[in-house]
């Protein structure tokens, strides 16, 4: 069994990762269509050692396709949803367009794999799977097995988010801005609205309410509840953009309903799929963005008792935003829906 696969937004940071993940995981691809804007049409990208030409995305791009992996922004996803699904093509969308839509499964394969198959029951046998926000994915891979054991009562999250979350152009801008800073040259940012090199700032996603939360911070709350299938955990987050290229870090303070010891948390996480415990207490060594760049697993360490609140643990979690936070999770969703399984992680 092999599938005709389309990648929408193929020249972007996540689009390139889609190709690499498909190849690395030996996803059965019989034909690969690389789709992007008119500006990028004609570009060639490598897949399995061969050049594949990028073509302009249009309403007819999905004819005969079995799977479309989207990472071109919410507006593009909304515009081409009907063209994709009416062509009988499964749409796995990396944008926020459909995540909270009733009936659209929002899937982290290690957490709620049973939801992926629901997309195949929509629109004449094919539908949409929404890929969650990167911060939500990275957090829930670690938190879900702990929640199943003891129940999360309250989560306080502080995130340290890489430039990759804002796309390839932001990654380039961080590199160029850093070089200019070191050379004592003027630099005007165009992607990120404030100086980025040697700086950090609260996440610049839109402010959605009068309570002072930005869109990124509310995603963890809303998406977390939907994925867990449980609205009882109280969740608050502070999201910060930091000058890192491609991995998000999260400091998670977790209050549990039932007792959860540090030893038991480590035991659960060492057995959890998609999770790797990394630490060397004697050397004060814990997961870092450089450790997870290019790696599939989410890393966790520095689990300790919160001395200020009963039955609460602190965890330090780091994951590659472009992989588990985006492209890898999407391909895993496709594996579940089309193959009925998820291939083992490669890291």
* Residues carrying an active site annotation: 134, 248
DSSP assignment of 276-343 equals EE--BGGGTB---HHHHTT-SSEEEEEEEE-TTSTTEEEEEEEEETTIIIIIHHHHHHHIIIIISS-P
Question: CA–CA separation, 153 vs 221, rounded Å?
Answer: 13
Task: Pick the closest to residue 265 from 227, 309, 316 (CA basis).
Answer: 316
Q: How far is residue 31's CA from residue 29's CA, in Å, rounded to a whole number?
A: 6
User: Contact, 317 vs 299, CB < 8 A?
Assistant: yes
Strands 3-8 and 29-36: what pairing? parallel
Q: Return all residues near 190 (Cβ < 8 A) that are at least 6 apart.
A: 169, 173
Running DSSP on this structure, what letter comes out for residue 106? B
Are the C-beta atoms of residues 123 and 159 closer than 8 Å to each other? no
- Residue whose C-alpha is closest to residue 138's, from 292, 262, 212, 248: 248
């Amino acid at each position: 069994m092999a599938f005709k696969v389309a990648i929408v937004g193929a020249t972007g940071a996540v689009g390139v990762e889609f190709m690499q993940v498909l190849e690395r995981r030996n996803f059965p691809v019989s034909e690969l269509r690389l789709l992007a804007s008119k500006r990028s049409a004609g570009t060639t990208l490598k897949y399995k050692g061969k050049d594949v030409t990028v073509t302009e995305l249009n309403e007819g791009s999905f004819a005969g396709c079995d799977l479309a992996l989207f990472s071109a922004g919410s507006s593009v996803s909304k515009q081409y949803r009907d063209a994709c699904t009416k062509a009988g093509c499964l749409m796995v969308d990396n944008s926020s367009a459909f995540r909270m839509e009733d009936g659209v499964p929002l899937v982290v394969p290690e957490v709620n794999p049973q939801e992926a198959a629901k997309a195949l029951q929509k629109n004449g046998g094919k539908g949409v799977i929404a890929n969650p926000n990167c911060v939500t994915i990275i957090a829930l891979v670690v938190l879900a097995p702990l929640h199943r054991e003891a129940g999360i009562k309250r989560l306080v999250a502080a995130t340290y988010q890489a430039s990759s979350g804002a796309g390839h152009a932001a990654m380039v801008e961080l590199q160029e801005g850093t070089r200019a800073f070191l050379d004592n040259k003027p630099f005007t940012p165009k992607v990120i609205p404030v100086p980025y090199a040697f700086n950090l700032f609260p996440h610049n996603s839109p402010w959605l309410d009068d309570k002072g939360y930005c869109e990124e911070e509310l995603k963890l709350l809303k998406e977390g509840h939907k994925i867990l299938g449980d609205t009882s955990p109280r969740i608050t987050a502070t999201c910060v953009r930091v000058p890192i290229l491609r991995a998000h870090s999260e400091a998670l303070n977790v209050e549990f309903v039932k007792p959860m010891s540090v030893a038991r948390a480590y035991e659960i996480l060492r057995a959890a799929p998609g999770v790797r415990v990394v630490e060397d207490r004697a050397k004060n060594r814990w997961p870092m963005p450089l450790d997870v760049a290019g790696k599939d697993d989410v890393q966790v360490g520095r689990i300790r008792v919160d001395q200020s609140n009963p039955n609460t643990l602190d965890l330090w979690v780091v994951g590659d935003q472009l992989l588990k936070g985006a492209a890898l999770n999407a391909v895993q969703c496709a594996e579940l829906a089309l193959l009925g399984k998820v291939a083992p992680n490669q890291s």
